[in-house]
Structure formats: C-alpha cells, structure tokens
Structure 1
Amino acid sequence: MAIFKLSCLILLFPLPTTSSSYYGSAPTESQISYADHCASIVPKPTQEQFHYTRFSLPRHTGYYKGGSNLLIKNSSFGVPAVTSLIFRIWSIQAADHVEGLFKISGYIVFHRDGTYYHLRNYTHSRPTYYSGGMYYDEKQYYYSKHRGPVRFSLNGFWSESSGKLCMIGWYYSRQSHSGDSLYQPAVLKLYNFKNSTTAVNGLITGTLESLLNSENDPNFFKPVSIMILPMFNYEYSLVSKENVSGLLVQNDSSPGLPLTSFPRQTFCSLFSKAVNLFDLRFAGHCGFSAKNCTPFGREAEYLPLVVSFSEIECLEHKQRLRALIKFSSSRYDEPFNPNTALIGEGLWDSKKNQLNLVGCRFLGVTEDSFADAHVGDCSIGLSLRYPSIWTIGNSNSIVGNIWTSKNVTELGYFDKISFKRSYLNLPMRVSGLKYQYTKIDKARKLCSRKKHVNEEGAIYPYPFSQDMGFDLKLNSAKRLTVWGYSSPLSVGNELYSQFWYSKHYSNSTFAKTKQINISYQIGIMHI
C-alpha cells in the first residue's frame, strides 16, 4: 500500500519536457552547439590544442539598439532607456595549429539604468536659456524605475586576421516569483574586431541573438544591434604634431593657461575630469533658422543647448586623447544619439596651450540597426582652452570653438559655433590666472568720490572676507520686487575663489591706505 501511494505521488509531478528556456542548471555544450551557430563566422579548429598567451584585450564600451522583451521595455512616455554596454574578454588562448585564432572567454553587460519621464512644466525647472538670438526651454527629465544591467557570460573564438568574433553564452537570472534559475542562451557575433584600428575604419559592429526556438516563448528577446568603440592598439591618424594643418590652424585664439598652472600639471588629469558639459552659442541667424548651424545638417531635429565631451582614451606621454562629443537639448543625461554625436581625436598644442581636436560623424546608422555604422566626414575642428586672462566680458573657466573646413557651398557646411563653461567650474589652486579691469575708468566716473568726506581713521572689511558679499532687493517702476545676490569675482588681480583655495581665512580688518579694484558677479532671481 505504501508503494502504491509513493507511485501516485511520483506521477503527480510533471515530466520534463523540451523547452526553449533552461531552468535549474546551465545548458551543456550538447544543448547549445558552437558549430551550429558560429561555424560560418569563425570555424572551430579541428585540433583543439591551445596555450595561454600574454596577449590581452582591453575592456570595450559601446551602445546598442533593440533587445525588446529583455533589454528595452516600451515606455508610454516615448523616451528610451539608457543604451550603453561593456564588453570584456578575460581569458584568451592561442590555437597551436591555426595562426591568429584564439579561444576566448568573457562577458557583455547591457545597462538598463532606468526610465526617463519628460516633464514639460516642472515647478523647479531652470528658466529658458538664450543662444544665438533665440530663447530655448531646457528639457527636464525625472529619473525613476531603476532596472539593473543584463550580463551574458560568453565563450567562443576570435580570428585576428578576419576581425570576426563569435561566442555563445547565457544570461542568468533568478525568478523572484518562483525562485527558479533561468538561463537564456544567445550568440554574439562581432565584426571588425581587429588589433589595430583608426577612427576612419574603427567601429566594431555586430549582434546578440536569442537562441530560443520560438518568438512566442516569454523569454525570447529580439536581436540586439551593437556598436563598440575600438580600444585595442588604436592608431591616431587624424591629428599629429607633424601634421596639424588646414583644419586646426584656422582657429586663431589667444593662448590659454599652460598645464603647469594646474595642481597635478598633467594632461590627462586635467582633461579627464574637466571636459564634460558646455553651453553652446550659435551664429546670430540660427535663432530663426537652423540652416548651416550644426555639424549634422538636416538630421538634427533641434538646435542643441549644450555639448559634452566624454573621454574614451587618454595617452599622457603623447598628450593625445579620444573623446565622444555629444550635442543635446538638456543638461540631464540623455540617451546616446549617434545622429547628433561626434567621435574625435585630440592633441595638446603647447604653443597656444589648448586642446585641438578633429571630429568625425557617425554614418550609416538606421533607426533599428548599427549594421552599416561607420565613421566619416572628418571635416570638423574643435578647440578648447582655459583663458589666462578674465574680463567683465569673458569670465569663463573654459572656452572653445567648433568649425568646419568645408566652404559655404559644400554640403555639411555650418557657421562657427562657440562654447563656454562658467568660472564656477574652475579647478582649485590655479596659478597664473589674472583678472583685467576693462571698465574701471567708467566705474570711477559713475561713482565719483566726494573729497570733503572725512575718512580719517576709517577702516574697511578685509577685501577677501565673506562680508564682501551681499543680497539684493530691487523694486521696479511697476512695483515688482526681485531678489538677487552679489559676491566678489576678483579682488585686485587675484580671483576671489582662488584665494580661498590657497589661503586661510583672516578675520582682520583692512586699513584704508589705497583703493583696491574689485569685480562682482550679480545674480537676479525673478519672483
């Protein structure tokens, strides 16, 4: 009787069935065959004999499109999730009998940082911004609904000569509702994965495809189109100290601060952190027409508000860097759009003390795929420097220009664009920076001193003290009240903020022996 009951209990459990998803334990080699999915890309060697090598590959970063059901969820707000990725090969073995063939293991991580909601009437949003003769409302994004990254563990082969790579692997996750482990199999195919690249031919493209048999499977995901920025033995072909001609020498600007003016006095330490977000200023006609205003022509749907520089690679000994240059309508981190971005090579000019860059466009990108993506149209020049002298008309910590080598009749021509960042972002303890008073004579005439005032024994606040700042309340003729603030920008030839970085506060008073020039920053807040 007990045996009969046990048999009944056993029969109550469902028998294993063939499924397109794998639960419990990882699929074996027999369940997912490398040859079935990769033989036409990178064939597996007939003699599987390998040896470890000192040859290593760096971590690569890139972007992706697609992957619905797994990577990207549809949003009713119409703003896609962040689409960045990381690809890393951590193990590499060379084949003994096939030259240039490597057995590799690694992973690819797709970031899904969240969903962005567009708020048009956010109460605490910044006021409109003025650029090129027109006011622009800054987009506001609210970040919510965090979603963690998806990581696929991968194994496969790479052909160094063809630049092709094929790997199979799995995405592992634990189901919260049941506690079961889920393994989703996939195949990664990459092209142009070479050990030496330049900007002109250097984009790595490919796909990650689900190996589930049916699109009706709830764990199936649509193909992911991938574009990766090259990192391995990159050759700087667009800028060099021996060949900086034509494009870069057109920009005639006054010299900036040398690297020795900054605390660490190194090229990479300065630009790896300082080069990020700048306000754009366009030609006067761009407030009414976008024609000939941006490097992207008709593909730009709007006149951007800011430009950002993100370092890809920096070589201290050669004073060169690569950067991703993104144009955006918001100061908030927007999803990457290759149609409004450049990839650039930069070189430090020690004579003008400025960073010169050559920018190239991303071409061949469609709405759904990076398959034909490549770099081209490297006719765009950029420069960036720290001004060594500030005035009332220029008190920006960093300034720069963007221009093209094309003439006005050529497709892709645009008028020169300038960009800047305010003094608030100036690094600490900068030496050699001076303030020049260009309107001080006019100020003396407007604010003349009466000679009969008895100033004997008068004392004044220490010019670098915090007492030199004050609040403002202004009443207009229409009885409107506005508030503001005023704080010193410079005292004498020394910047007020740099004084506090380099010296201790002194509570002493300053005896009146001579006049000291002082400049102020004034902010007005409308109520």
Structure 2
Amino acid sequence: MAPARRCSRACRLSFLMQLVLVSAVVVFPAAASSTSRCSNPSPAPKEIPEGNDAAELLRSFQISTGYFSGGDRLFAPDDESSYIPRSFSLTPSKVARTTDSALLEVYATLTVYGASSSHGGGGSHRRRRRYTFSRAASFHLHGYYSSSSAELCMVGASGSYNGENGLVKHLRDVNLRLRVPNAPSLSDPFVTGLLDGADFETISLVAYVESDHYVFSEKKPSCPPPTPAGDARGALQALEANFSCPRLKELIVSSYKFEHADGDSSSPSSPTPTPLSLSTSRMHVNQMHCTANGSVRAYVVFSNDTDADSWRWQRMIHSRFFVKEEAVVANGYWDATASRLCLTACRVVHSSAATGPSSTDLKVDREQCGIGMSFWFPAVWTIRDRSVVAGLLWNASQERGNKHAAGDVISSAISASSIDLYRRGSNLSDVKYNYTMVDTAKKQYIQTGLSKSKKGRFPGNSSTYSYQDFKFHFDTGEATPVTIGSVIVAGDMMAAEYAFFEEVNMSRPAVATMDHTQLLNVSYDISYYITPGNWQPPKNSSRLYGVPSEPRQISAEGVYDPQTGILCMTGCQEINSSTDCQIMVTVHFASLDAKGKGHGRGRISSTRDKSDSLYFDVIDFALYGMYVEQIEESIWSTDLESIMAVTTATLWCVFAVMQIRHTKANPAAAPATSVSMLAVVALGHVAHLALNVDAMFVSRRRHYVQVSASGTLELNEVMLRLPTLVAFALQLCLLQLVLSNRRSAADNGRPAKAERWSLAERKSLWICLPLYLLGGLLAGTVHAINNGRAARDNPLIVRVAADPATLWDDLASYAGLILDGFLLPQVIFNAFSASRVRAVSPWFYVGGTVLRAAPHVYDVFRARSYVPSLRPSYVYADPRDDLFGVAWDVAVPLGAASLALLLFLQQRLGGAFFVKGRRLGEYEMVSTIGSRQEVEKAIDHGHQDATVD
C-alpha cells in the first residue's frame, strides 16, 4: 500500500499544478481582453425622461465624415482604392440621461464605407483580374458614455454588409470604443477609437469633432488688413447677409494655392513657402463648423499635389476627411466690421505611438500654435487672380514674442487664393474687374488681319442672343465667360443677360468703324485636357488601354468683334510651377445662318520661341453645340415632329377602320387579302413601340439647355405611343377577320376556293421571306464593315456626336424598309391567285403609301431647313425606324408609289395582267377523265369567282 499512497500524492500534486496553469491561460487573456472590450454596467442605470437638451445630446455624438484604417479582411487596402474614399459616420438614434449623472445611454448606427476588391475567376491566379467596388458595413450599437473618462463604449450583436454576390453577410460580436471629448477645444478636437469584431481585423477611427460643446479660445486673434488695403468685399454681397454660417462654409471650404509677395504664383527658381514646410504648394480647408454668433473652427490640410491633383482635391474636398497630409486645426471668429475671417491655428501631428503616416492617432502639438490665418472676399479681379476667396498666413507667435525653431511656424506672410472652378453661383455684383492685357489682344487682332474677316450675323449683332451663345465646348474642354464689358457674369445668369443687353445692344454701334470702337472687352476661363507629349500608345496590344491626360486651366482676356464673330484673347496658365502669359486664344464663332453642324472653330497657340521650355504646339479645336436661336428652332421642330407622329399614328387607325369596313361590306374581299401584308403592318407597329419604349416618360428637353422662358408644346411620350397601340389592335382585328373568313370558306363547302387562296399565300411567302432574309444579311454585313472601319480609327479621337448605330439599330432601320414595301406581299399574292377582287380599300393602300413616303419628304425638308443637333432627339422620321439619306429619300417614295399603282391595276385588270401568255392560275386543274360538262362547269365557276366584287 505504501507505493500506492506515494502515487496518489504525486497525482494530486500534478493535478493541482495543471489546474493552476489552465487557470492562468484562461483567466489572464480574459482579463486582458476585458480591458479593451465593452460591457454594460451592472446593475444598468435607469433612463431619465427626456429634457429640453435631447437634440443637443444627439448632436454631441453625431459624426458625418470620418476616416478609418485597418479592417483588411473586410475592405481593400487604402492605397489600392484611393478613388473610393474611406470614411465612416456615426448617427445616434437616442441619447438619454440616466440615474447615474456620469453616464449617458446611447443608441447609434455606425456605417463604415470603403472599397472591396475581388479576383475574377478563370485561368491562373496571375491572370485573374481584380475588380474594385464600394462596400458599406453597418453596425447597430448600444452602450454608455462616461463623462469622467470621455469614453463611449458600445456593443452590438452583429453588423452586416452586402457581399460580392449581393447577399447580406453578418459580422459577429462587434465592439466599439470611442474617445469623445467632453469639451472639445483647439488642443483637443478629435474623436478617436477602435472597432473590432470576430470576423474582421481591428479598425481604427478618427474624426474632427462636430459637437456644439466646442470651447473656443478666449483670446480673439488679431488679423492684419487685406492687401492691398480696402480690397475686401462687404459681407452683405458675399454672404448674402451680415453673417450666414452655411454660406460662409460653402465659400471657405475649398482648395487654395499659395502666392508670392510679388503676386507671381510660381517661379521655378524660388519655391513657394507654406505654413508647415517648404515643399507643399496647396492648402485645402477640409472641415469647418461655426455658430450663430460668428465663432468659427476649421480643419485645414496641406499638400504638394500637381495640377491634376488639384482638380482631384477640388472634387473630393467636401466628401473626405484627410489624415495622411500635414494639417492644422484653427478657431477664431468672423469680423463683421472688416468682413474677414480671423483664425489661430495649431499644427496636427501623429502621436509617437503611430506606426506610419496612415495612422489615425492624431493629436495637436500645443508648442506649434503660432500660426495666424485670415480669409476674405476680394473686391477686385484681374487675369492673374479671379479667386472668390483670398487668404493670408503669417507667424502669429512673433506678435507675442514667442520664438520657435525655424520651420515650425511661418517666417513671413504668405497669401493664398481659392481654386474655385465653379464659383457655386456666387453673388459677384460688387466685384470690379481690371483689364490688364486687353491692349495686347486688340493689337494682335488688328495685326493678324482677323478684323477683315467676312461679316455676318453673329451673337451680339443679331436680334436673338444669350449668355449661352458665348459659352462654348470642344472635344477636350470648355470655356466660360467671366466678364462681359464691365460686368462680372461668372456664376450669375441674371448678370450675364444684363451685361449682354447693356454692353452689346446699347453700347455697340451697328456698323464697324476703322478705329475698331465696336470691339467688346471680355474675359474667359478655359479648361481643357491634353495628352502628354512623350506618351505613345502600347505596341502590339489588342487590349483596351486608357489614354493619359493632363488638365490645363487658362485665364484669358481680350476683345470680341460682334461684326465678324471673332474672339481674340491673351491668356495665362500655370505649368510646372511656372506662369506662362504668352498664350494667344482665337475663336471663330459660326454664323447664326450656318446650316452645318458645330459652333465654330478655335486655336490655342504659344507666342514664345520654339526653343523656350514653356513653348507648346498649336492646339486646334472645333466647337460643338448650338446657338440659342438654333436650339429654340430645334425645339420647335421637335414639337412639330410630335404632332406629325401623333397624326400619322392616328391616320393609321383611320385607314385600318376603313379597311375593316370595306372587308365587312364585301364578302369576297376578306379571303383575297394577303395575310402576309397584314402581318407586316402589324409587326411594324410592334417594332415602333418596342424601339421607343426607352423614351417613355422621359422629357426630350434633356437634350437642350433651358434657354428660353417662352411656353412651347411638349407632348408626353405616352400620347405619342397610344395611337400606335390602337392601330396595332385594329390591325389584329383585321387579321382575325381575314383568317376567320378563309376558315369559314373552307368549312362551307368551298375547299377548292380556300385551297387556291392558301396556295397563293404560300407562294407569296416563298418569295418574300428569302428576299427579307437576304436583305437582313446584307444590312448586317454593311454594319460589320462600318464597325471594322470605326475600330481602325485613331483611339485618341473623342466622339462628341451621337453614338454609332448598333446592329439592332441597323436591323430595325431595315425593318422600316420592309414596312415601306408593305404592299409587296399583296401584289405577289394577286399575281399567283389571278384575283381581280378589290380586296384592299384605296384608303388603306393609298393612305398607307403616303404615310410611309411622308417621313422621307420631311427628311429632305429637315436637312435643308434646320440646323442638325449633334445629339438630335428624333420623334418623327427617326433613323431607327427607317433608312434615310439622299438616295433612300428618293427611292422609297418611288418604290412605294409603284407598288400602290401596280395594286390598283391588279384589282381592275387581274392579278397577272402584266404576265404575257397564259395567265397564272386562270384555270383550275381538272381531271382528264371528267366529262365535258364538268369541265365547262368548272371553267364557268372559275370565271364567276374571279369577277365577284
């Protein structure tokens, strides 16, 4: 027993040691994880009924735009999907006070937006393509906010997102921890936190706080006056009120470029300094919030992007929260007396624990708060500066005698101007424009001999004109007037129309004079894209490839001659941090009387020597679009086409009714009517409805710019299609009447007569169907040849006209040709049946022929009378409904009229009157062993059938 007792003690000791180890393994991770995961307090505090601050509490936890990193299993890496912004939003649905004064109970929805990528199937892994699409994951959370720790801790049973196959996928065991400052301020303005779950990696979150509890700095910053003195506009015009927080935010949140003290925005030898380093050249006000009393706070980032990136920033500045760039946070106030915004800014840095520039752990460096910022609205514009908002940055720490290391703060004042390409409808009525390069443009206009160009009717010297006439587009860009005479028209349609009335109609003489006093001062913004000069398309590549492009922005001013329609301007553009003002822009507007497509032609050229680094090759371009007068004429013609389309469909209904009446009044007419002919007409109505179903309920005026307040007719597409639907129904009734009559003839003891009609019908089909199929193959071959020719075109050519016809469109047009010859089956049917029955009413075959020929007559009139739009909206004589062109417009009416004439003669002289010798089918085949009386009786019976009307 002794050995047994020793074993028992050893086992008990081993068991105790294993128990301790297991407890350590289980307990310690649980304890560690409990520090990072949320749990509701126990016992849970009870809610207190809502007070007057319920809405304010909701706003305290609202986050509209934040940034996140991580979550790699759920989202694609950020660097692979920069065009799909990573962001998140937190929307509280309920915030309630509890019996514990330090705790708030919060119900909220967290939505995380990003990109998700997947590999296409097929082939090896290397050959699989990666497809990137946007993804949104939503989490419904509940938890508590502790005012003592400033921490919001929330849990959710699950979250969800849409998977690649469209099915909703769930995420388990979700946990959110956010630090939300109790009293956010200049030194503590960020919401940061972590989101984790069982099905994805931890996601780091950061956002600029939106709470109304923000504590502004007690000391108001001082602002130096704008330069030059008195250059700021009043708030009444700029903000449309003494102070409007939404309007101020709309204007200030934008991108800015830095300027040198001498006003030159670029110089290759002297890079522009910025508040934070010598490398950045752009500033972007990314987030801004303000209060009703004029207190303002903002989040501002800096970048060294190229011109192309500037356009990208301009598009994204309102939708993203940027954390990877250098940034500052600022607060201050709106100075209503001086009409400017004054701010004090502090630099934002990544914490020492950050692992890289993508870290969301941001904090404010309180030692670098010596940056002063101000913004105002310039009252004077020039060719070099047309910014809606101007800014100034300076070293505010020097004012307090606070010295910092070089590079930490601004060493000298730097001016900035907004890069606002759209100006968002700003009220610029009090802005003055100073022309500085008009004399140069006028001199070039006279010296080049352009003033001697042919005169005509152009915008400005005609009775009809509009601001839209002077906006022009070309294949790679567009140009918009900024000023006309002394009036700013940028973003203000009313001011533009007023300027034309005052400057063009009232102030310009009617005839040209030798001293060119009729020239009108104008200025433009021209935006366009170019292909890099060193780019070459890939060789031996059968795949589609993208053509790279670089944006260019030209500020131009010069003169416009309303007598010749020529615009001659001198322009400036920024290229590679250099400003080039030796650019000439010439535009020849097309005459208002011109019937060709297009708006005119233009040229952008450099006046520098070819050896100069800023020299570029001449850019010739064609303007597209239509003048207002031509647009109104086109809209009028479209309304006329609507009336003609409804009239045509209604007449088809009338003619179908007349044919039904004729068939019922003449019993012999129904079996002598070709079923193939009726089927062709019915299918024609169906095709017309099917081809135009995409236009249902859609306004045709989407093809035009609203340029006139005059009332014009616009018929609803349903009204256009309803008569066609009725005509189709009547055609089916007529077809049913013919078929039932033939069936009754066979059932009533006249099988020989019914067989004769059926035999003629089959022979008609044997001829028509191969003919139709051969024509379809020919149409498909022509389409393939045209497509092959288009595929060999230069890939750099940008198509601005209507899209090329598809195979379906070409076959549909050919189907219209078949409908043009809808009488062909009846003519062949009559020839084989030798019928002299007047089966088809003159109303039907003459009226139908006229209706099919009328679109071709109108097409000739339209081509000679109207200016064609590049993207026309056809309602009548649509190329998808028939074949049009000079040859077809002659051949189709002649062919349709010939068939109608032939049918008229057949119904009076017999179906086979044009066949020499024995007439087809004149006699029925009889048995040779029949009696002579039977033969004579059969012959008499055949003559009686052929002469019955």
Shift of 1:198: 0.9
Distance 1:288 1:259 in 2: 38
The verdict on how the C-alpha distance between 1:321 and 1:146 changes in structure 2, with shifts beyond 3 A counting, is: farther
Contact residue 107 and residue 141 of structure 2 kept, 8 A: yes
**Residue equivalent to 1:216:** none
Work out whether 1:405 is the aligned partner of 2:405.
no
Shift of 1:374: 3.9
Distance 1:89 1:369 in 2: 26
Amino acid across the alignment from 1:403 = W
Distance 1:470 1:312 in 2: 34
Amino acid across the alignment from 1:418 = A
More strand by share: 1
Question: Which of 59, 63, 70 does residue 67 from structure 2 map onto?
Answer: 63
- Structure with bigger RCO (C-alpha 8 Å, 6+ apart): 1
Task: Map Cα deviations across residues 254-284 of structure 1 (whole Å, 9 max, x no partner).
Answer: 3322221148435224223223433413558
Distance 1:484 1:206 in 2: 45
Shift of 1:470: 10
**Residue equivalent to 2:349:** 363
SS at match of 2:322: coil
**Residue equivalent to 2:174:** 186
5 Å-filtered alignment, 1:317-466, equals 317-328=292-303, 329=305, 330=309, 331-332=311-312, 333=316, 336-365=322-351, 366=354, 367=356, 369-371=359-361, 373-374=363-364, 376=366, 377-406=368-397, 410-414=406-410, 415=412, 416-421=414-419, 425=423, 427-437=425-435, 462=460
**Residue equivalent to 1:294:** 274
5 Å-filtered alignment, 1:67-106, equals 67-70=71-74, 72-74=75-77, 77=80, 79=82, 82-96=85-99, 98-106=100-108
SS at match of 1:326: strand
Distance 1:262 1:91 in 2: 38
Distance 1:421 1:274 in 2: 11
Task: Map Cα deviations across residues 367-396 of structure 1 (whole Å, 9 max, x no partner).
Answer: 264346346433222222221122344333
Distance 1:444 1:82 in 2: 48
SS at match of 1:82: coil
Task: Map Cα deviations across residues 316-354 of structure 1 (whole Å, 9 max, x no partner).
Answer: x21233333233421313872344223332422223322
SS at match of 2:133: coil
Q: Normalising by the residue count of structure 2, what TM-score does the alignment of the two structures yield?
A: 0.39
Question: Which of 226, 247, 268 does residue 270 from structure 1 map onto?
Answer: 247
Work out whether 1:46 is the aligned partner of 2:23.
no
The verdict on how the C-alpha distance between 1:387 and 1:49 changes in structure 2, with shifts beyond 3 A counting, is: closer
Distance 1:74 1:441 in 2: 55
Shift of 1:49: 2.7
Question: Which of 98, 109, 112 does residue 111 from structure 2 map onto?
Answer: 109
**Residue equivalent to 2:257:** 280
**Residue equivalent to 1:454:** none
The verdict on how the C-alpha distance between 1:499 and 1:157 changes in structure 2, with shifts beyond 3 A counting, is: closer
Distance 1:501 1:64 in 2: 44
The verdict on how the C-alpha distance between 1:50 and 1:259 changes in structure 2, with shifts beyond 3 A counting, is: same
Distance 1:161 1:80 in 2: 40
The verdict on how the C-alpha distance between 1:519 and 1:207 changes in structure 2, with shifts beyond 3 A counting, is: same
Contact residue 220 and residue 333 of structure 2 kept, 8 A: no
The verdict on how the C-alpha distance between 1:518 and 1:189 changes in structure 2, with shifts beyond 3 A counting, is: same
Work out whether 1:261 is the aligned partner of 2:237.
yes
Shift of 1:443: 8.2
**Residue equivalent to 1:131:** none
Question: Which of 144, 165, 171 does residue 159 from structure 2 map onto?
Answer: 171
Distance 1:422 1:180 in 2: 41
Contact residue 236 and residue 345 of structure 1 kept, 8 A: no
**Residue equivalent to 1:227:** 206
Distance 1:256 1:114 in 2: 47
5 Å-filtered alignment, 1:114-153, equals 145-153=132-140
Greater Cα offset, 378-387 or 249-258: 249-258
Contact residue 197 and residue 234 of structure 1 kept, 8 A: yes
Shift of 1:158: 1.2
Shift of 1:75: 7.1
The verdict on how the C-alpha distance between 1:516 and 1:346 changes in structure 2, with shifts beyond 3 A counting, is: farther
Task: Map Cα deviations across residues 213-237 of structure 1 (whole Å, 9 max, x no partner).
Answer: xxxxxx3x22222223222233352
Task: Map Cα deviations across residues 97-118 of structure 1 (whole Å, 9 max, x no partner).
Answer: x222122211211111578xxx
Contact residue 221 and residue 342 of structure 2 kept, 8 A: no
Greater Cα offset, 50-59 or 199-208: 50-59
Distance 2:391 2:193 in 1: 36
**Residue equivalent to 2:483:** 490
Distance 1:180 1:78 in 2: 22
Give unpaired runs (5+ residues) of structure 2: 1-29, 118-130, 399-403, 448-456, 511-516, 525-555, 557-584, 586-603, 606-617, 620-949
Distance 1:437 1:418 in 2: 21
Distance 1:435 1:200 in 2: 42
SS at match of 2:134: coil
Amino acid across the alignment from 2:245 = C
The verdict on how the C-alpha distance between 1:488 and 1:341 changes in structure 2, with shifts beyond 3 A counting, is: same
SS at match of 1:413: coil
Greater Cα offset, 172-181 or 348-357: 172-181
Contact residue 343 and residue 362 of structure 1 kept, 8 A: yes
Larger radius of gyration: 2
**Residue equivalent to 2:148:** 161
The verdict on how the C-alpha distance between 1:76 and 1:398 changes in structure 2, with shifts beyond 3 A counting, is: closer
Contact residue 58 and residue 94 of structure 2 kept, 8 A: no
Contact residue 321 and residue 346 of structure 1 kept, 8 A: yes
Shift of 1:426: 6.1
Shift of 1:69: 0.8
The verdict on how the C-alpha distance between 1:370 and 1:429 changes in structure 2, with shifts beyond 3 A counting, is: closer
Question: Which of 303, 308, 317 does residue 284 from structure 2 map onto?
Answer: 308
Task: Map Cα deviations across residues 71-110 of structure 1 (whole Å, 9 max, x no partner).
Answer: x3237858596232112322223332x2221222112111
The verdict on how the C-alpha distance between 1:182 and 1:145 changes in structure 2, with shifts beyond 3 A counting, is: same
**Residue equivalent to 1:208:** 195
The verdict on how the C-alpha distance between 1:500 and 1:46 changes in structure 2, with shifts beyond 3 A counting, is: closer
Distance 1:172 1:440 in 2: 62
The verdict on how the C-alpha distance between 1:374 and 1:83 changes in structure 2, with shifts beyond 3 A counting, is: farther
Shift of 1:398: 2.6
Task: Map Cα deviations across residues 380-415 of structure 1 (whole Å, 9 max, x no partner).
Answer: 222222211223443333322333335685341345
Distance 1:78 1:465 in 2: 43
The verdict on how the C-alpha distance between 1:156 and 1:425 changes in structure 2, with shifts beyond 3 A counting, is: same
Shift of 1:176: 6.3
SS at match of 1:271: helix
Amino acid across the alignment from 1:352 = A
Contact residue 346 and residue 357 of structure 1 kept, 8 A: yes
Distance 1:88 1:34 in 2: 31
Shift of 1:154: 1.0
Shift of 1:189: 1.3
